[in-house]
Chain A
Amino acid sequence: MRLPPFTYNRPQDLDEALELLNAYGKDCKILAGGTDLLVRMKQGLVAPMNLISLKALSELAEIRETATDLKIGSAAKLSDILAYQPVQARWPGLFESIKAIGAPSIQHFSGTIGGNLCQDNRCQFYNQSRSFRRARQTCNKAGGSTCFAWKGGSDKCHSVCQSDTAPILIAMGAKVVIKSRQETRTIPLEELYSSIGEHPLTLGDNEMLTEILVPVRAPGDGSAFEKLAYRSSIDYAVVSAGAYVRTERDQILGARLIIGAVARGPLAIAAVEKTLQNTRVGDLHAIDEAAMDAMNAAEAFIANNMTQPVEYRTKMVSVMAKRALIRATQRAVSQTGVSEAK
């Protein structure tokens, strides 16, 4: 498969990159690892006139721990984050989510954290070759006016956000830094997602995600990520779950659960906070109830956008939610990271 033509830009610093982004505007894509963008270009889903490569921007590849945050540059490679020792011990959920992305030789040495967060939504009717798509009408996401993934059709796109790192990072309360030539803004990660299938990110045409800030691990908290995929190495998630739990002695003080791969953006399950608050650690009834909260909330969003049946994915939401919550709670109590807990 050939790539369509484009001009290639490799800015030497961030200012130059933002300047280019500002000048090109809509007609431009940022090239980080390329494992999402180049495939879509080969399939003829996008044909940007200009690419801006982040390869030379070492300032965006930094990973460091400060007193308040783990700061990860948006172009940091997934393999470098896995190799950064503190992540395994103190941000176990993040470690698990990166480990769950594809396979080492596909994504880990090329793919970046910013690329994982900013990947386009996916659907089994959209992410296909030209010849596959030609057999049907054009769908909403491709500029037409129908949706094959929603029973009875829809005037909205029901593609799914497939980022594995987004659910756990949102659960852990991560923020992202977004820059344009004119301004810098820091927003909670959940606000990066529009929950609109056609354009899933809230980034402006001249804006770029530059940094991810993950709060440091506090005493009594724990995180975990669960992903269900048919073949772990090359498949996107059927359902994923990121859980963050805060405890004090044997009480759960608070919990956040984000379900991935079921809705147009990462899906926050608000009811879980209430269900688990002030319950005892190890109260499996409460965890079961929280898992049902997740399933009931997700049910309304799951469309036939993957090859697995909708009913199966709906049921699996509760399973993934339960596993993630249990493991996050165990880690919160024992204060362990990935290696000790697994």
Chain B
Amino acid sequence: MNKQPLEITVNGESYSLAVEPNRTLLELLRDDLDLTGAKEGCGEGVCGGCTVLMDDKPVRSCLTLALEASGRHITTVEGLAQNGELDPLQQSFIDHGAVQCGFCTSGMLMAAKGLTLSKPDADNKEIRDAMSGHICRCTGYTKILEAVEAVVDRSKEKR
């Protein structure tokens, strides 16, 4: 199959690649760039494990062709920590015990990050709305929602 050129920025680093048209963004990230934070759960867009940010908006990388991400900025869970310091969301997930097996965590974090970037003052309903469509089989969701709420509340206090 004919490979096509792809210019893409992942976690601040730009890449010039040649990829096959039927390669998904998830396959590109995991297999070509060794960024294995995004997970393939269902492969059909249902579970949320593969969620990454494309230009700061959460999308399913398993249902996005790599070529469709051309010219875009992708952020994966590996790009959340800055200068060795965890993102407030990551720290909050640890503090609230929102991680058990960890499979859904990267997707959950990216959905939460997408929300805090677009709506730092989101209310609880908006948080639930943004986190819907992400399946977790361990935590029962409460801890995850508490972790996100804590970060949002803190940013509200600062304002």
Binds A, one of B50-58, B73-81, B98-106: B50-58
Quick check: is A234 within 8 A (CB to CB) of the other chain? yes
Of the residues A8, A31, A105, contact of B48 by C-beta under 8 Å:
A105
Given contacts A3-B24, A6-B21, are A104 and B63 in contact (CB under 8 A)?
no
Of the residues A3, A31, A109, A234, contact of B58 by C-beta under 8 Å:
A109
Give A39 to B134 CA distance when docked, in angstroms: 17
Q: Would A2 and B51 count as touching, CB distance under 8 A?
A: no
Q: Would B65 and A233 count as touching, CB distance under 8 A?
A: no
Quick check: is B36 within 8 A (CB to CB) of the other chain? no
Digit string of B16-44 for contact with A (CB within 8 Å is 1, else 0)?
00001111100000000000000000011
A2: B residues at CB distance < 8 A:
22
Of the residues B130, B132, B134, contact of A232 by C-beta under 8 Å:
B132
Q: Would B22 and A106 count as touching, CB distance under 8 A?
A: no
Quick check: is A35 within 8 A (CB to CB) of the other chain? yes
Q: Would B63 and A34 count as touching, CB distance under 8 A?
A: yes
Q: Would B46 and A234 count as touching, CB distance under 8 A?
A: yes
Quick check: is B153 within 8 A (CB to CB) of the other chain? no
Q: Would B22 and A3 count as touching, CB distance under 8 A?
A: yes
Q: Would A4 and B57 count as touching, CB distance under 8 A?
A: no
Digit string of A1-34 for contact with B (CB within 8 Å is 1, else 0)?
1111111101000000000000000000001001
Of the residues A51, A79, A103, contact of B21 by C-beta under 8 Å:
A51
Quick check: is B2 within 8 A (CB to CB) of the other chain? yes
Quick check: is A55 within 8 A (CB to CB) of the other chain? yes
Q: Would B65 and A42 count as touching, CB distance under 8 A?
A: no
Closest to A54 in B: B68
Of the residues A1, A53, A102, contact of B68 by C-beta under 8 Å:
A53
Give A110 to B54 CA distance when docked, in angstroms: 10
Closest to A231 in B: B132
Q: Would A55 and B68 count as touching, CB distance under 8 A?
A: yes
Quick check: is A316 within 8 A (CB to CB) of the other chain? no
B132: A residues at CB distance < 8 A:
103-104, 232-234
Give A105 to B110 CA distance when docked, in angstroms: 9
Closest to A38 in B: B63
By a beta-carbon cutoff of 8 Å, the part of chain B in contact with chain A is 1-2, 4, 20-24, 43-46, 48, 51, 54, 57-60, 63-65, 67-68, 70, 107, 110-111, 114, 129-130, 132-135
The contact sample of 13 A-B pairs, CB cut-off 8 A, is: A3-B24, A31-B68, A34-B65, A35-B60, A38-B65, A39-B44, A39-B45, A42-B44, A104-B111, A104-B129, A110-B60, A110-B63, A234-B133
Add 4 more A-B contacts to A7-B21, A53-B65 (CB < 8 A): A5-B20, A104-B130, A104-B133, A105-B133
List the 4 closest A-B pairs by CB distance, nearest first: A103-B133, A233-B132, A8-B21, A105-B58
